[in-house]
C-alpha cells in the first residue's frame, strides 16, 4: 500500500509539472482560439534566455554569479524577452492572419516553433546548462523516516508554484477588464472588434502572459533536467492534459495534469512490466483518446453548439 | 631546331611545374554528417568540433597527410535518419576522389545507409555505435564499428562490477538493473546482458524509459522496490541527467550507477548538478586537456584562431576528445592507405577502406600522436573490424571527470562468438558469401 501511495503521489506531482506547460496552451487558445504549437519552443526559449542572462550578467555588471540580484535581473530580462517575442509574434505572424481559418493560424505556429528554436540556439548556443533554484530534489526526510514514502521537496515546490499561477490567472480572467476582453476576443474576433476591444493589444497581453507562464515552466523543468533542447518535448506531455482538461479551462489544465500524471505512473508501474515497459510515453494519449470519445470538449471545456 | 628545343624544354618545365602544383594541391575530402542543432546539438557540437580541430591540426602543423591537405564539409542531419541519408547522397561525390569515408554518428543513419556504402564503395566507420555484428569484417567489409561495440561495452561494465565486488564469482545472486532508452539503441544491450547473467549467475532487471526520458519517476520507484546492487544507465540525451537526478531523489548511490559512453559526458552531469557527484561512466576515450595531442591543438589551431569550438572551455571535454579520436582514426587510415596506394596522393573511398582494415595504432604510434592513454591501442584486421573492445571508467567528482581505472577488457570469446553468430545469420538471410581473409592483402 505504501508503494501504491508513493506512486500515486509522485504521479500527481508530476502531473502538476505537465499542467504548468499546459497552462500556456490554454491561455493562448482561450484568447485567440489558436492552438499554439510553439508553446514547447517558448518554454525552451524562456529558460535558455534566463540561464543565458545568468551567465553574462556577472561579467557585464560585475556582480557575483550566484547573487540574488543576478537571479532576479535575469528573470526580469527573460520576461522582457518573452514580451518582445509575444509582440513580434502578434505583429509578424498573427496580425496578417486576422479572420483567417484557425487551421491557418495553427500552421503559422508550427512555423513559429522552428523560428523560436533556431533563434534561441543562435543567440545562446546549444550547450546544455544546469539551473539551480536553490531547492533540492530530495525526499522529505520525516515522511521517508516515518512512512517510507518519498515525496520530493522540489515537486512540492513546483505544485505550489502551479497553484499560485492558477489562482493568479483565474483572477485575471474572471475579475479584470482585460480578462473579460480576453474572453470576448476568444468568442469572436470580429464581434469583439465591433464593440471596441483592441484585438491587437489583447493578443499582445495574452502572448506576454503565456510567455511568463513559459518562463516559469521552463525554469522548473530546467532545474529538474537541465536547460536543453529537450525542454521543447515538455509540450508532448501537455497535449493529453489539454485533451482531458479542455483547451479553454485553466482549472481543467490542473485537473487534467493530475489525472494524466497519476494514471501514467500507475500504468507504468502496474501494467508496464506485463507489456515490456516504457508505456508512459503513449499511455496518456490512449487515455485522452478514450476520453475524447465520451466527452470531446474535455472535462471543463466549453461545449460547442452550432445552430442549424 | 632551337625553337623546337625551347618548346620541348618549356613543355617539360610546364609538366614538372604542373605535376608539382598537382601534388601541392592534392586534397582528401571527408564528408561530415554533423548535428549542431536539434535535441542532441550539445553533444554534436563538441564531437564535431574536436574532429575538425584535429584535421585542422594535421593541416596546420604537418601540412596535411604527406602533403595531402584534408578538406571537409559538414551536412546537418539533426540526428534524423532521412536527413542523414540525404547528407550521404549529397557528400558522396564531393572532392576530387569523392567522399573517402562516411561516419554518420547515429545508429539509425548507419542502418539506413548500410547497403548503400557497399554499392558506392565508401567505407562506413561507426565508432562506439551502429550495428554490433558488423564487427565481423568477413561479412561486412565496408563497415567498421571500431574500438568497441555495445556488446563489448556491456561486458566490460559487468567485468568492472565484478572487480568492484572482489571477483566475477561474487556476482552470483546479485541484481543488476538495466535502465535503458526504449529504442533499438537501448535494446541492443539485452542479448549480451542476458548471456552474461546466465554465465555469472546474476539477475538483470530491465526497465525501459520511453523517449525522450525527461520523466522517470515510475522507473526509479520500480528500482527502489527491486533494490538492485548496481544500475547500468543505457541512456541518451535528456534521459541521462534525469536519471541521475532521479537516482538521487530515490536515494540510490551514484557510485553504483554506471553509465555507458553515451551517458558519461559533461552534458549529462552538469545539468544534474550536485546529484551527479560520484556517478561512474564507461568511455573509449577519456576527458582531459592535458594530453599532448590536445595541447598541440591548442597551440597550432587555437593559437592561430582557427579553432572550431565557440566555447573554448569545452576543449578537452568527453565529447570533444571523442571527436579527436574520430579525427585520429580517420587520418591514420588515410596515412596507412597512402603507404599502399602512393604517398602524397588523394585516395578513393575504396583505397581508404584498405587503410581502415590494416590500421594498427599500437602504443608506439599512440605515443607519437600524443594520445597515450587517451584512447586504447587499436588493431583492425580483415575479420575483426572492432579492435580492442576496451573501455576506461571515469567518475564525476562534482566538477570534472576523473579516470578511475585502466583499460578494462570485455569477455572477448563470448562477445566475438555472439558477433559471428549474428553476422552469419545476416549473411544467410542476405545470401552473402563471407570473404576468405587469408586471401586478402
pLDDT the model gives residue B37: 84
Give the pLDDT band (50/70/90) at residue B17.
very low
Take residue A150 and report the three cell numbers written for it.
518519498
- At a CB cut-off of 8 Å and minimum separation 6, what does A142 contact? none
**Which of A162-171, A228-237, B101-110 reaches the highest mean pLDDT?**
B101-110
Among B187, B206, B214, B242, the strongest candidate for a mutation testing the A interface, having the largest count of A CBs within 10 A, is B214
> Do the chains contact at B36 and A126, CB–CB below 8 Å?
yes
Give the pLDDT score at B22.
Answer: 43
Residue A109, CA distances (Å) to A28, A36, A92, A102 in order: 11, 6, 11, 11
Q: What is the DSSP letter of A97?
A: G
Contacts of A17 in chain B (CB under 8 A): 215
Q: Are residues B220 and B275 in the same domain?
A: yes
pLDDT of res. B366: 98
- pLDDT tens-digit map of B153-191: 999 999 999 999 999 999 999 999 999 999 888 998 999
Q: Do residue B103 and residue B224 come from a single domain?
A: no
Q: For B344-440, where are the E strands, in sequence order?
A: 360-361, 378-379, 392-396, 401-403
d(CA A55, CA B264): 24
Q: Is B219 on the interface with A (CB under 8 A)?
A: yes
Instruction: Give the whole-angstrom CA distance, residue A279 versus residue A267.
Output: 8
Mutant choice from A44, A133, A134, A226 vs B, greatest count of B C-beta within 10 A: A226
For B271, which of A129, A237, A264 is closest by C-beta distance?
A129
Distance from the A235 Cα atom to the nearest Cα atom in chain B, whole angstroms: 12
pLDDT above 60 (res A253): yes
Q: What integer pLDDT is reported at residue A34 of this predicted model?
A: 83
3-class secondary structure, B145: coil
pLDDT for B389-433, tens place per residue? Answer: 999 999 999 999 999 999 999 999 999 999 999 999 999 999 999
C-alpha to C-alpha distance for B254 and B200, rounded to whole angstroms: 24
CATH number of the domain enclosing B274: 3.40.50.2300
Rounded CA gap, A155 and B219, in Å? 16
Which pLDDT score, from 0 to 100, does residue B164 have? Answer: 96
CB B424 within 8 A of CB B404: no
Residue B242 has pLDDT above 70, yes or no: yes
Calpha distance A34→B167 (Å, rounded): 62
* pLDDT above 90 coverage of chain A, percent: 36
B121-151 pLDDT, tens digit per residue, is 999 999 999 999 999 999 999 999 999 999 9
Task: Give a yes or no: residue B8 inside a domain.
Answer: no
d(CA B122, CA B116): 9
Q: CB–CB of A14 and B215 under 8 A?
A: yes
B188 — phi, psi (to 5°)?
Answer: -60, -20
Note whether B270 and B407 are same-domain residues: yes
**Closest chain A residue by Cα to residue B213:** A281
Mean pLDDT of A11-18: 90
Regarding whether B292 and B277 lie in a shared domain, the answer is no
Q: Which residue of A has its CA nearest to B180?
A: A278
Task: Tell me whether residue B7 is in a domain.
Answer: no
Residue B21 placed within a domain = no
My answer on whether B156 and B144 are in the same domain is no
pLDDT of residue A139: 83
Q: Do A10 and B37 touch (CB under 8 A)?
A: no
Residue-level pLDDT at A203: 83
Which pLDDT value is given to residue B127? 96
| ipTM, 2 dp | 0.84
Q: How many CB atoms lie within 10 A of CB A156?
A: 15
Range in A98-112, B54-68, B357-371, B394-408 with the lowest mean pLDDT? A98-112
**Which of A225, A227, A264 lies at the smallest CB-CB distance from B242?**
A225
CB contact under 8 Å between B41 and A229, yes or no, is yes
Higher-confidence position of A98 and B260: B260
pLDDT digits (tens, 9 = 90+) for B3-13: 455 555 555 55
Q: What is the mean predicted confidence (pLDDT) over B274-278?
A: 95
Residue B270 touches chain A, beta carbons under 8 Å = yes
Give residue B224's domain range. 151-283+393-412
- By the CB < 8 Å criterion, does B308 face chain A? no
Instruction: Determine which of A171-175, B336-340, B366-370, B430-434 has the lowest per-residue pLDDT on average.
Output: A171-175
**pTM of the model as a whole:** 0.88
Angstrom distance (rounded) from CA A78 to CA A70: 12
**Could you tell me the pLDDT band of residue B16, with boundaries at 50, 70 and 90?**
very low
Contact of B235 with chain A, judged by CB distance below 8 Å, is answered with no
- Is the pLDDT at B201 greater than 80? The verdict is yes
Domain count, chain B: 2
Q: C-alpha cell of A238?
A: 501537455
Instruction: Judge if B79 and B165 occupy the same domain.
Output: no
Percent of chain B exceeding pLDDT 90 equals 85
- Cα of B206 to nearest chain A Cα, Å: 9
Chain A contact present for B348, CB below 8 A: no
> Which chain A residues are within 8 Å of B242, Cβ to Cβ?
224-225
Residue ranges per domain, chain A? 12-232
B155 with B207, same domain: the answer is: yes
- The pLDDT tens digits for B350-382 are 999 999 999 999 999 999 999 999 999 999 999
Q: pLDDT at position B4, please? A: 52
Whether residues B257 and B398 fall in one domain = yes
pLDDT of B23 above 80: no
- Answer yes or no: do B324 and B404 share one domain: no
Closest CA to B257 of B267, B266, B246: B246
The pLDDT, as a whole number, for residue B95 is 93
Q: Span A240-268, mean pLDDT?
A: 90
Residues of A in contact with B207 (CB under 8 A): 277
CB contact (8 A) between residue B217 and residue A276: no
Chain A residue numbers touching B267 (CB-CB < 8 A): 127-128, 228
Whole-number average pLDDT of chain B: 93
pLDDT for residue B251: 87
Backbone angles phi, psi at B397, to 5 degrees: -95, 10
Beta strands (DSSP E) in B148-267 are 175-181, 203-209, 230-234, 257-259
Amino acid at each position: 500500500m505504501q508503494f501504491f501511495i508513493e506512486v500515486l503521489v509522485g504521479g500527481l506531482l508530476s502531473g502538476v509539472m505537465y499542467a504548468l506547460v499546459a497552462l500556456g496552451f490554454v491561455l493562448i487558445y482561450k484568447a485567440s482560439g489558436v492552438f499554439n504549437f510553439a508553446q514547447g519552443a517558448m518554454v525552451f526559449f524562456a529558460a535558455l534566455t534566463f540561464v543565458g542572462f545568468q551567465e553574462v550578467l556577472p561579467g557585464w555588471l560585475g556582480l557575483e554569479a550566484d547573487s540574488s540580484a543576478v537571479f532576479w535581473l535575469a528573470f526580469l530580462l527573460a520576461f522582457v524577452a518573452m514580451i518582445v517575442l509575444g509582440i513580434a509574434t502578434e505583429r509578424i505572424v498573427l496580425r496578417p492572419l486576422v479572420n483567417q481559418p484557425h487551421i491557418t493560424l495553427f500552421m503559422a505556429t508550427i512555423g513559429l516553433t522552428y523560428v523560436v528554436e533556431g533563434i534561441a540556439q543562435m543567440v545562446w548556443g546549444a550547450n546544455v546548462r544546469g539551473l539551480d533554484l536553490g531547492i533540492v530534489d530530495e525526499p522529505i526526510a520525516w515522511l521517508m523516516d516515518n512512512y517510507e514514502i518519498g515525496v520530493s521537496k522540489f515537486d512540492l515546490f513546483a505544485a505550489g508554484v502551479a497553484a499560485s499561477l492558477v489562482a493568479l490567472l483565474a483572477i485575471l480572467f474572471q475579475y479584470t477588464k482585460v480578462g473579460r476582453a480576453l474572453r470576448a476576443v476568444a468568442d469572436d474576433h470580429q464581434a469583439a472588434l465591433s464593440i471596441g476591444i483592441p484585438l491587437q493589444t489583447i493578443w499582445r497581453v495574452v502572448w506576454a502572459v503565456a510567455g511568463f507562464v513559459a518562463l516559469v515552466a521552463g525554469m522548473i523543468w530546467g532545474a529538474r533536467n537541465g536547460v536543453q533542447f529537450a525542454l521543447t518535448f515538455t509540450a508532448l506531455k501537455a497535449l493529453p492534459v489539454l485533451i482531458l482538461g479542455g483547451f479553454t479551462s485553466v482549472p481543467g489544465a490542473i485537473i487534467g495534469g493530475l489525472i494524466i500524471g497519476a494514471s501514467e505512473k500507475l500504468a507504468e508501474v502496474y501494467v508496464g512490466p506485463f507489456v515490456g515497459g516504457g508505456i508512459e510515453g503513449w499511455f496518456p494519449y490512449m487515455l485522452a483518446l478514450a476520453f475524447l470519445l465520451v466527452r470531446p470538449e474535455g472535462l471543463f471545456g466549453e461545449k460547442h453548439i452550432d445552430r442549424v | 631546331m632551337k625553337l623546337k628545343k625551347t618548346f620541348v624544354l618549356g613543355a617539360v618545365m610546364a609538366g614538372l611545374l604542373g605535376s608539382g602544383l598537382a601534388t601541392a594541391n592534392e586534397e582528401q575530402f571527408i564528408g561530415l554528417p554533423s548535428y549542431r542543432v536539434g535535441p542532441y546539438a550539445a553533444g554534436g557540437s563538441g564531437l564535431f568540433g574536436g574532429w575538425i580541430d584535429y584535421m585542422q591540426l594535421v593541416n596546420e602543423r604537418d601540412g596535411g597527410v604527406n602533403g595531402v591537405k584534408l578538406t571537409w564539409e559538414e551536412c546537418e542531419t539533426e540526428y534524423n535518419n532521412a536527413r542523414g541519408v540525404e547528407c550521404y547522397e549529397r557528400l558522396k561525390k564531393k572532392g576530387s576522389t569523392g567522399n573517402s569515408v562516411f561516419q554518420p554518428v547515429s545508429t539509425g543513419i548507419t542502418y539506413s545507409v548500410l547497403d548503400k556504402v557497399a554499392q558506392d564503395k565508401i567505407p562506413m566507420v561507426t565508432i562506439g555505435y551502429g550495428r554490433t555484428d558488423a564487427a565481423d569484417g568477413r561479412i561486412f567489409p565496408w563497415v567498421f564499428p571500431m574500438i568497441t561495440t555495445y556488446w563489448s561495452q556491456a561486458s566490460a561494465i559487468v567485468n568492472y562490477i565484478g572487480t568492484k565486488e572482489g571477483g566475477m564469482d561474487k556476482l552470483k545472486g546479485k541484481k543488476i538493473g538495466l535502465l535503458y532508452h526504449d529504442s533499438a539503441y537501448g535494446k541492443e544491450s539485452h542479448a549480451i546482458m542476458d548471456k552474461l547473467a546466465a554465465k555469472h549467475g546474476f539477475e538483470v532487471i530491465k526497465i525501459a524509459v520511453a523517449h525522450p526520458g525527461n520523466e522517470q519517476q515510475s522507473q526509479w520507484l520500480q528500482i527502489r522496490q527491486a533494490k538492485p546492487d548496481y544500475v547500468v544507465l543505457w541512456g541518451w540525451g535528456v534521459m541521462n541527467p534525469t536519471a541521475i537526478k532521479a537516482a538521487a531523489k530515490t536515494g540510490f548511490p551514484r557510485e553504483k550507477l554506471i553509465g555507458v559512453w553515451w551517458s558519461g559526458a559533461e552534458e549529462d552531469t552538469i545539468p544534474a548538478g550536485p546529484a551527479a557527484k560520484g556517478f561512474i561512466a564507461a568511455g573509449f576515450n577519456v576527458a582531459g586537456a592535458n594530453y599532448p595531442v590536445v595541447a598541440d591543438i591548442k597551440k597550432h589551431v587555437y593559437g592561430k584562431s582557427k579553432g572550431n569550438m565557440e566555447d573554448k572551455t569545452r576543449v578537452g571535454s568527453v565529447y570533444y576528445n571523442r571527436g579527436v579520436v574520430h579525427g585520429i582514426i580517420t587520418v591514420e587510415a588515410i596515412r596507412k592507405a597512402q603507404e599502399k596506394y602512393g604517398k602524397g596522393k588523394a585516395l578513393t573511398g575504396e583505397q581508404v577502406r584498405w587503410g581502415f582494415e590494416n590500421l594498427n595504432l599500437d602504443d608506439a604510434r599512440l605515443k607519437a600522436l600524443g594520445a597515450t592513454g587517451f584512447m586504447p591501442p587499436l588493431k583492425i584486421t580483415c575479420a575483426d573490424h572492432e579492435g580492442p573492445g576496451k573501455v576506461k571508467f571515469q567518475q564525476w567528482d562534482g566538477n570534472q571527470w576523473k579516470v578511475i581505472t585502466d583499460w578494462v577488457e570485455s569477455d572477448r570469446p563470448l562477445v566475438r562468438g555472439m558477433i559471428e553468430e549474428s553476422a552469419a545469420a545476416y549473411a544467410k538471410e542476405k545470401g552473402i558469401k563471407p570473404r576468405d581473409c587469408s586471401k586478402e592483402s
